[in-house]
Structures are given as C-alpha cells and as structure tokens.
Chains A and B, each alone.
Chain A
Amino acid sequence: MIEVKNIVKKFGAFAALDGVDLKVADGELLALLGPSGSGKTTLLRIIAGLDWPDTGEVSFDGENALAHAASERHVGFVFQHYALFRHMTVFENVAFGLRVQPRAVRKDEAGIRARVKELLDLVQLDWLSNRYPSQLSGGQRQRIALARALAIEPRILLLDEPFGALDAKVRKELRQWLRSLHHEIHVTSIFVTHDQEEALEVANRVVVMDKGRIEQIGTPGEVYDNPATAFVHGFIGESIVLPVEVYDGCVRLGGKQLNILADGVSPGLSKLFVRRHDMQVGPAGSGSLDGAVRHVRTFGPIQRAEVALSAGDGETVIEIDAPRDRELQTGDIVGLQPRRYRIFAAQE
C-alpha cells in the first residue's frame, strides 16, 4: 500500500501541494484528475522521488520512501513526453533498467534478452526492437516507455498524462489497452490526467484535485453522480450553474421560489448545479425555471436547446439536453424542473 500523509510542496510563494493525504491499495488503478496547476504531476513526481516535499510523509508498505532516492524506489515512471533515450534502440531502451542493476543481481545477457522480448510482446511491439525512438509514432513511443518502466518490475507504476501527447483516436485505443494491461499484470498504478473522460473511463478510483488540495476521492460513479464540492461538480461533466438564494430550506432564483429542496444548505447566496440532461422540460408554471427557447440543435438522440430564463436579470441563457420525444421550437415558452441537482454555498 502507498500512503501519502500531509504533503506540502511550495515553489516560491506558490503552494503546488497544500496538505495532501492519500492511500492507494495494492493493485488499484487510480487517476489523479485536475486542471493544470492543480498539483497532480507534482504529487506523482514526489511519489517517484523526482521531487521532494517540503513537509509530509510518503511510505510504501509502511516503509519510509523519502529515505530513498528515486533510483532505489523501484517505481516505474512513464513520462508525459516519454523521455525515451534517443540514442538507443527500442530494445536498448527497454533493457536499460536491467543493465544498470548492481552486478550481483543483474541478469546475464540471455536473461536480459528474454525479459525484453517478453515485455515487447506484452506491449505488442516486438517487431520494432531495432528502431530508434525518432522512428516511432506517438502511440508506439508511449507503449515502449511503458515497457521500459515495467522492465524493472516496479512495485508501483506511475504515468504522467499518459495520453496527453496523442491524437484523439490513438488516445481512445490506448485507454482500453491500458485498462486491459492493468487487468493482466495487476501492478498498482497511478496516472495523472486533466481529461475527465479518461479518468472516468480507465480508473477504478478517481482523485479530483484543485489548487494543491484533494477535492474528492471516489469511484468514477461517485465523483460523477455525487460531487462533493462545487469545484468537482463544475469540473466533471458539464453543468448548468445558477446563482440562487437559500432561505428556510427554500430556493429562490431572482426572487422566484423554485420547487426544489435545499436540505442541509446554510442560508444565503448559493449556487445551484444541474447537469444539462437533468433538466426536465415541462410547461411553464410555479416552481419551475421558466424561459423562452432561443435556439434548438438536434443531433443523435437529443436536442440541445438554448433557453433564456425569465427570472432574474432576464439575460441568463442556459443550454439543456432534452430527449427528442417532444420536439422543441424556437420561441416556445417552457418550464424547466431539475431532476437531480446540488446546491453549494456561493463562497466556495
């Protein structure tokens, strides 16, 4: 198990990590998700020993990892731009970690060859072993970088934006491939990404970070359906955000009381978060968000409508996704009722 306790890391006045605690169980495939500057890469580098925290602890199976340099940690690190050794062939890149082992434990040449072959088979790139990195495509480089990191039989595999430098199609393929690879070798893995879709699709658990802090840890379903904070709600999935006032458990938007509950939300200015597809379209009336349809686009099973809300300043325009069972027309007056929603205090 990897345990990270109260890590603080500052670059000058900027706190890249501001008190981070995290436990990663054996065999997990964990995503660190957040916008750029949220500290996720710094956390990954600290676990690998490529950066050092100002304060805090990192332990692997109860053993203090900070007492060891990166070269002693047995951590497989896959760099964002792969960092393949440009003057070595694919084979030599993968063999590197085996060749630099102390003589006492180093495999003989035949052993190294066998192991490299095995790894290249695993990433399905055996046929490239005599090429140089500059002759490979992005996706191939990525898989070689992974094979190289796996060569040292790491106790953890760390991947920094593993698909960040790839084009959309290759990215999709590699995601599925990484998940099935993890299923096959079952090494504890942490990857960093700013792409929520990637995190939700690949990881068993997702850690959402912002401004050097962890906002929420949970399964993909939990962070999507039950965002713990306004940040998570806004960052994961697209949300409609409306400024509301909360009084005695009632929610008002621009003076109009809405037919939704605000249990457990402290009174005052707040923000109402609703997913686009969680807005139910009905007739205008009391308790609903009323407005005029300004524009409708239809694609696939949904129609996306721009609705200008009549409450408040009258200039708030939101986009909703409605099923196509009832066709909307420009000019229709509709009443929107949030099916699922969250309210967070506005100060956040």
Chain B
Amino acid sequence: MSELQSYLSSARDDLRTEPRPVRIVIIAIAVIFLVVFVVLPLVVVFAQAFSKGIGAYLSALSDPEAWSAIRLTLLVAAISVSLNLVFGVIAAWAIAKFEFRGKTFLISLIDLPFSVSPVISGLVFVLLFGGQGYWGPWLQAHNIQVLFAVPGIALATIFVTFPFVARALIPLMQEQGTLEEEAAISLGASGLQTFFRVTLPNIKWGVLYGVLLCNARAMGEFGAVSVVSGHIRGETNTMPLLVEILYNEYQFVSSFAIASLLAMLALITLVAKTILEQHLDEGQQPRGD
C-alpha cells in the first residue's frame, strides 16, 4: 500500500517538476542571489562590529551616547507600539465585524503610510510643527517643543507604523466572522465581555504578530525620524540615527556595533514571526465538520 502510494506520488512529482539540470541551475541562482543580497550584508554587520575585537565592541556599546540612543529608541517604540496597538484593535473591530459602505476605501487609507516615502512621513510633521509650519509659531509662543524632541519623533514613528496592527488583524477577524460573538451576546454577555472573553483570545496570536512587526519598524525607522529629530547628540538620536552619525564620522566599529544590535532585533523578529505564523496557521481550523 505505502509502496504504491510512494510510487504514485513520485510519479506525480515527476510530472510536476523540471529536469534535474534545470532544477539545479534554478536553485543555484536563487541561493547565490539570496546569499549576495541578504546573507552577506547581515554577516558584514557583525564582522565589522567585531573587527577590532570584542573589547572594542563592548566599549562602543557602553558609550553614554549609545545608551541614550538605546533609551530613546525603546521609549519611542513603547509609545508608538502601545498607541497603534489600541487603535489597531479598535479599527479592526469596526472594519472586520461590521458591514458598511466605503470599507475598502477606509482600508486603503489605513494602508497609506506603507506607500509614503519615509522622508515625506517626516516632512509632513515639519510642515505642521516646524518654525515655518502651520502651528510652529503658536507652539513656540507657548514654549512647547514638538519637533526636534520626543513628541515629534514619536509622531513620525506612529505615522510609519500605523498600519501594522490593523493589517494583521483585519483579515484574521474577517475570517473568524461574528458567529462566536453573536453566541456570546445571545448568552447575555455585554459588548466588553464579548470582546475580552471571546474575540481577544481568538486573535491573540494576530495581535502579537502585529505588535512584533510594528515594534521592529518603530525601532528601526530611519528616514522619517531623521527628518524630525534634529540630530541633537545625546538627546534626539535614536539608534538608527546614531548608526548614521558614527558612520559618517568614520567610527566604523561603534557604528556597526549599534547596527549589530538592530540586526539582532531584526533576526529575533524574523524567528518570532515564523513561530507566530505557525500558531496562526494552526488557529485556522476548519469550522463545523
């Protein structure tokens, strides 16, 4: 029986694949391409960071300027991820659980930041809050600092990471439908009880997935933050900005040391993402029979 099956499946595989030389060439091209464009850049970051030994690496990371950049990056990520988390879940509830006109349009608006150049994402806040901006003079008169300070950096980061949570949740919640929520309501649950006891447990992996991607982008954002930060040393430099400054000052070890932390963040994000994707696939069990 199993022999027959393996015979049949190999026959089917033969039918659906290319001759061996073609396969080898295609695999070779794909692997070389990925190695040159993805693996080598990753390796080079760590190679450069450790090029003067582990001592130089550690002292680069213990520099006060590095610490201030790490703290600022964590702060900005915490602010933007938590706000986008709350609003992403709210938006996904409104969009996925109800039918209304203009839904597609609303989703495109939420997606907008994905297609705006990061530089423009920063520019729009300069135009609002900068010295020549719409509200700049008023803010100056009241001594409120938005641009070249944490609020401006946070705003630009929220802008570029706006879609992540909502985009992770909308398809998931649409696929889950509203039946379980209707069942909860018919059993006497209030709206909040329904959300926290029924909806949230069902979308928890999706929420984590959105937060993960949102966080990776928030910590790594460069263009938008670069425009609004003002590059004040020890104050408004996030980690990616510090990478740039140190690189331009030819402090390669220090620059790549910070870069290696960000690269590590990216790798951890990818591993976690792969694990979460497995959870999400398992969560999509067939309904009914």
Contacts and interface: CB of A to CB of B under 8 A. Distances in A.
Contact of A101 (B188, B197, B288, B289): B188
B180 A71 contact: no
B202 to A, nearest CB: 6
A113 interface: no
Contacts of A77: 182-183, 186
A148 interface: yes
Nearest to A48: B186
A97 B183 CA distance: 10
Contacts of B201: 85, 87-88
Contacts of A74: 188
A96 B197 contact: yes
A86 B190 contact: no
A83 B288 CA distance: 8
Contacts of A166: 289
A211 interface: no
Interface in B250-289: 285, 287-289
B198 interface: yes
Interface residues of B, number: 20
Contact of B185 (A69, A76, A87, A99): A69
Interface string B68-103: 000000000000000000000000000000000000
A100 B179 contact: no
Interface residues of A, number: 34
Given A96-B197, A100-B197, A138-B288, A83 B189 contact: no
B10 interface: no
A70 B185 contact: yes
B139 interface: no
Interface in B156-195: 179-180, 182-190, 193
Interface of B: 179-180, 182-190, 193, 197-198, 201-202, 285, 287-289
15 contacts: A50-B186, A70-B182, A71-B188, A71-B189, A75-B186, A76-B186, A81-B288, A83-B179, A85-B183, A85-B184, A85-B197, A85-B198, A151-B187, A152-B188, A165-B288
